[in-house]
Amino acid sequence: MGNYRYQVRSSNGQTQAGVIAADSAQTASAILRNQGAHILSLTPEKTQRTSALSTLSKLNSRKAGQKQVLDFTTQLAVMIRAGISLRSALEGIADQTTHVKFKEVIDQLRADVEGGKSFSEALEKHPKLFGPLYVNMVKASEMSGSFSEMLDRIAGYIAQQMETKKMVVGASIYPAIIGILATCVTVFLLTFVLPKFYSIFEGKEEVLPLATVFLMNLSKFIVAQWPFLIGGVAVVGGLLFAALKTETGGFWLDRMKLTVPVMNAMFRSLYIARSLQTMGQLINAGVPMLDTLTITGQVSGNRLFKIMWQKVHSSVKQGKKIAAPLNDGLLPKAVVQMISAGEESGKLGEVLDEISTYYAKALKDHIKTVTGMIEPIMILVMGGIVGFIAMAIILPIFKMSQLVS
C-alpha cells in the first residue's frame, strides 16, 4: 500500500488535488475514475525514508561500468534466445535494473529502438559503456541473424577481460602496498623512535658510527622540514601524474612496462592475449578486416602495440598480408608464423583464438611468478631498512655501555 498524490478535474469543472492510498498507480487511477474525475496527474508520494534511500542509491550508483554491461548482455542474450522481442527484453531488463544511471541508458536504448533505429546505432550513443568492439559485433550479428549467439560471445569476452584486468591490477597493487608500508615504517622510526635517543647521542658524534650520524641528521631534517617535504612530494607526484597523462609520458610508461625485468613478461602476455582475442572475436563475427585492425589497436592497451596494429592496417589497406608488419619484436616469431599460417589457410580467426587462449594461460602463470618473486624481495627490502635503522640505534648504545664498563 502506497500513497499517490493526484490532481483531477471533477465533473463540474473544478480542479482538485490530494493524496490517495492504493496498492498501485492503476488502482488509484481506477478509484478516481469511478468517482467521475478526469485525472490530470498522478504520482507516487515519496516519504522521507524513500527519498533518503533514493538519494543514497543515486550516490552509490553514479557511474555504470563493465559489470553492469556484462549483466545486461547476459540477460539480453537469454531473453532474445527465449523468443522475446528486443523492445520487450530491454523494457524487462530496465525494470529489473537497480543501477540508476544504467537504467537510464537502457531506457534510452529502448526509446531509440522504438524510434526505428537499429540496436547497434542505439549502442553507438554510449561509447563509454559499449565500445567499438561491442558495437561492431552487434552490427555484424544484425546482418547475419545470429544475435543471441553474438551476445553470448560478447558476454564471454567481457567476462574474460574483466577477470584479466582484476588479476593484473591485483599483481600491480601488491608491491605498491608493500612499498607504502615500508615507507611508513621507515618514516615512523625516523620521526618518532630515533628522536627519543637524541639525548643519549647528543655530543658524542665523534664516536658514533657513520650510519647513526647519517640517520640522526636525516631524522632532524624530516622533523624540522616535514611540511615542505609533504608539499614537495605532493607537487612531484602531481607533476609526474600529469606527465604520464600526456602522449609522450604515456608512451614512455608503455615502453617501460615492456622492458622492466620481472614485470615485462606479464605485461607482454597481457597485450598479446588482449589484442589477439579481440581480433579473433571480430574476425569470427564477420567484421571487415580494416575495421577489425582499427578496433584491435584501440583496445590493445599499449601505445606500442597500437602503433604496430596501425602499421598492419596500412599494410592490409595496400593489399599486403597481415603478418608482414608484425616482425618488429613485439610479437614472438612463433606467433607471427602461426598468424601467417592461419591467414594462408583461411582459418585466421580460429588460430587467433587458440593463441589468445595460450597467452591468457601464460598471463596467469606470469602473475603467479611475479607475485611469488615480489613478496620475498619486498620483505627482504623492508627487513633490511628496518634492520639498518635498528642497528644504527643499538650499536652505539652497545659500544657506550662497553666503554662505561
Clarify whether residues 401 and 291 are in a common domain.
yes
Secondary structure (DSSP) of 11-70:
TTS-EEEEEEEESSHHHHHHHHHHTTPEEEEEEEPPPHHHHHHHHHHHHHTSS--HHHHH
- For residues 340 and 326, give the distance between their C-alpha atoms in angstroms, rounded to a whole number: 10
Q: What is the pLDDT of residue 63?
A: 78
* Residue 54 in domain: no
* Residue 397 in domain: yes
Clarify whether residues 103 and 219 are in a common domain.
no
Backbone angles phi, psi at 279, to 5 degrees: -65, -45
For residue 20, the SS3 value is strand
Q: What is the pLDDT of residue 48?
A: 44
* Residue 51 in domain: no
Contact 120, 135 (CB under 8 A): yes
Q: Average pLDDT, stretch 119-138?
A: 90
Q: List the grid coordinates of 388.
A: 639498518
Q: For residue range 180-237, what is the model confidence (pLDDT) as tens digits?
A: 888 888 888 888 888 887 777 777 767 777 888 888 888 888 888 888 988 998 999 9
Provide the pLDDT confidence category of residue 38 given band limits of 50, 70 and 90: confident
Reference 277, options 350, 347, 342, 185; nearest CA is: 350
Provide the pLDDT confidence category of residue 403 given band limits of 50, 70 and 90: low
Q: What is the pTM of this model?
A: 0.70
Q: Average pLDDT, stretch 260-284?
A: 88
Q: Average pLDDT, stretch 77-90?
A: 87
Number of domains making up the chain? 3
Backbone angles phi, psi at 338, to 5 degrees: -70, -40
Q: Average pLDDT, stretch 82-108?
A: 88
Q: What is the pLDDT of residue 47?
A: 47
The mean predicted confidence, pLDDT, of the chain is: 83
Clarify whether residues 138 and 244 are in a common domain.
no
Clarify whether residues 215 and 346 are in a common domain.
yes
Q: What is the pLDDT of residue 321?
A: 86
How would you class 274 by CB atoms within 10 Å of its CB: exposed for 0-12, middle for 13-18, buried for 19 or more?
Answer: buried
- For residues 182 and 388, give the distance between their C-alpha atoms in angstroms, rounded to a whole number: 13
Position 323 pLDDT exceeds 60 = yes
Position 300 pLDDT exceeds 80 = yes
Q: What is the pLDDT of residue 56?
A: 46
Q: What is the pLDDT of residue 404?
A: 57
Position 303 pLDDT exceeds 60 = yes
Clarify whether residues 97 and 193 are in a common domain.
no
Position 46 pLDDT exceeds 70 = no
Query: Which of 50-54, 116-120, 267-271, 351-355 shows the lowest per-residue confidence on average (mean pLDDT)?
Result: 50-54
Clarify whether residues 306 and 262 are in a common domain.
yes
- For residues 106 and 96, give the distance between their C-alpha atoms in angstroms, rounded to a whole number: 11
Q: What are the Cα distances from residue 301, in Å, to 109, 272, 297, 323, 331?
A: 28, 10, 8, 20, 15
For residue 238, the SS3 value is helix
For residue 142, the SS3 value is helix
Clarify whether residues 307 and 392 are in a common domain.
yes
**Which of 149, 164, 197 is at the close of a domain?**
149
At 82, which amino acid appears?
A: A
At 76, which amino acid appears?
A: L
Position 154 pLDDT exceeds 60 = yes
Reference 195, options 160, 213, 174, 219; nearest CA is: 219
Contact 285, 150 (CB under 8 A): yes
* Residue 312 in domain: yes
How would you class 73 by CB atoms within 10 Å of its CB: exposed for 0-12, middle for 13-18, buried for 19 or more?
Answer: buried
Q: What is the pLDDT of residue 358?
A: 92
Clarify whether residues 180 and 84 are in a common domain.
no
Domain of 77: which CATH number?
A: 1.20.81.30
Clarify whether residues 134 and 211 are in a common domain.
no
Position 49 pLDDT exceeds 70 = no
Clarify whether residues 10 and 158 are in a common domain.
no
Q: Average pLDDT, stretch 335-360?
A: 90
Position 60 pLDDT exceeds 60 = no
Clarify whether residues 205 and 353 are in a common domain.
yes
Backbone angles phi, psi at 8, to 5 degrees: -130, 165
Per DSSP, helices labelled H in 61-99 are: 66-81, 86-96
* Residue 357 in domain: yes
Can you give the residue range of the structural domain that contains 97? 62-149
Position 293 pLDDT exceeds 80 = yes
Q: Average pLDDT, stretch 42-46?
A: 65
> 336: which DSSP letter?
H
Contact 344, 257 (CB under 8 A): no
Q: Which residue has the higher pLDDT, 242 or 63?
A: 242
